[in-house]
């Protein structure tokens, strides 16, 4: 069964637009996470950025205490965030690149260029009993490096696929890259997640990508929830995911 991890960052973005710097505010990303769980989500994802633009330290601590599904903490390999993650002990961390000026994570992690540092970080998390996923482009060199550094998962960046979804040739090329990347990762002993830019329209074609364990989806779910509510938005996404052959 293909699992759904709901990224709640954009709920926090809406809160911070009105209540930044205040102790309380709405909507609560933690309450949103609980709604997603009740709707059938298999896990909750939150990205604690260095600039704390949306998710805050108090959010991740409360999430760790209150959610009952798998907690995935997205993070850069910044010492402060690493220390917090080691104390918090999420079920899994997803290491991502992070640039202050970007609106959202724009590209995959350069594992090849940071292999020594990532190997050390993966070792620290492994010793703490925390699984590690690396958010990478479906590139053969990056996938091979991900296996070498000791990650258990890769999350294949589907942003280019989503961006070119309405351009058939480019879209099909991206699907081929994702299929090849998933097969390579599986052969190397890595488990395969995917995410970025996925929605109800473009997700069905990804059923051809083999070996996927979980999809991490956020913005499209929160956007859809504006019109139909978060519980229904999650159930609709789960419906589209149903029947994935694996």
Per residue in 176-209, pLDDT (tens digit) is: 999 999 999 999 999 999 999 999 999 999 999 9
Measured CA to CA, the distance from residue 3 to residue 42 in angstroms comes to 6
> Does the annotation count 74 as an active-site position?
yes
Q: What is the pTM of this model?
A: 0.94
Tell which phi-psi region holds residue 189, choosing left (phi > 0), alpha (psi between -120 and 50) or beta. left
* Angle subtended by helix axes 230-241 and 219-228, to nearest 10: 120
Q: Can you give the C-alpha Rg of the chain in angstroms?
A: 17
> Does the annotation count 201 as an active-site position?
no
Which residue has 């999809």 as its token pair?
215
Q: Please state, in angstroms and as integers, the Cα–Cα distance from residue 71 to each residue in 5, 66, 165, 201, following that order.
A: 9, 10, 30, 26
> Does the annotation count 42 as an active-site position?
no
Percent of the chain with pLDDT over 90: 93
* Contact (Cβ atoms closer than 8 angstroms) between residue 82 and residue 124: yes
Active-site residue, from 42, 54, 157, 196? 196
pLDDT at 106: 60
CATH of domain 44-216: 3.20.20.70
Token digits of residue 79? 């010492």
All structural domains of the chain with their residue ranges: 44-216
Active-site residue, from 10, 16, 42, 47? 47
Active-site residue, from 74, 98, 174, 214? 74
């Amino acid at each position: 069964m293909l699992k759904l991890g709901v990224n709640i960052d954009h709920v926090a973005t809406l809160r911070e637009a009105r209540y930044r710097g205040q102790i309380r505010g709405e909507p609560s990303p933690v309450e949103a996470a609980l709604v997603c769980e009740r709707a059938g989500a298999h896990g909750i994802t939150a990205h604690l950025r260095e600039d704390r633009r949306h998710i805050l330290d108090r959010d991740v601590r409360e999430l760790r205490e209150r959610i009952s599904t798998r907690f995935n903490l997205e993070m850069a390999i910044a010492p402060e965030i690493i220390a917090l993650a080691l104390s918090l002990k999420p079920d899994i961390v997803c290491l991502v690149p992070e640039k202050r000026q970007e609106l959202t994570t724009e590209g995959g992690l350069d594992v090849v260029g940071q292999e020594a540092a990532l190997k050390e970080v993966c070792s620290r998390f492994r010793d703490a009993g925390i699984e590690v996923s690396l958010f990478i482009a479906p590139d053969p060199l990056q996938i091979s490096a991900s296996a070498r550094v000791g990650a258990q998962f890769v999350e294949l960046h589907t942003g280019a696929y989503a961006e070119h979804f309405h351009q058939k040739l480019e879209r099909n090329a991206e699907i081929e890259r994702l299929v090849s990347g998933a097969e390579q990762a599986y052969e190397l002993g890595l488990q395969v997640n995917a995410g970025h830019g996925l929605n109800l329209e473009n997700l069905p074609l990804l059923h051809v990508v083999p070996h996927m364990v979980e999809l991490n989806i956020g913005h499209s779910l929160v956007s859809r929830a504006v019109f139909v509510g978060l519980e229904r938005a999650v159930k609709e996404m789960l419906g589209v995911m149903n029947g994935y052959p694996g």
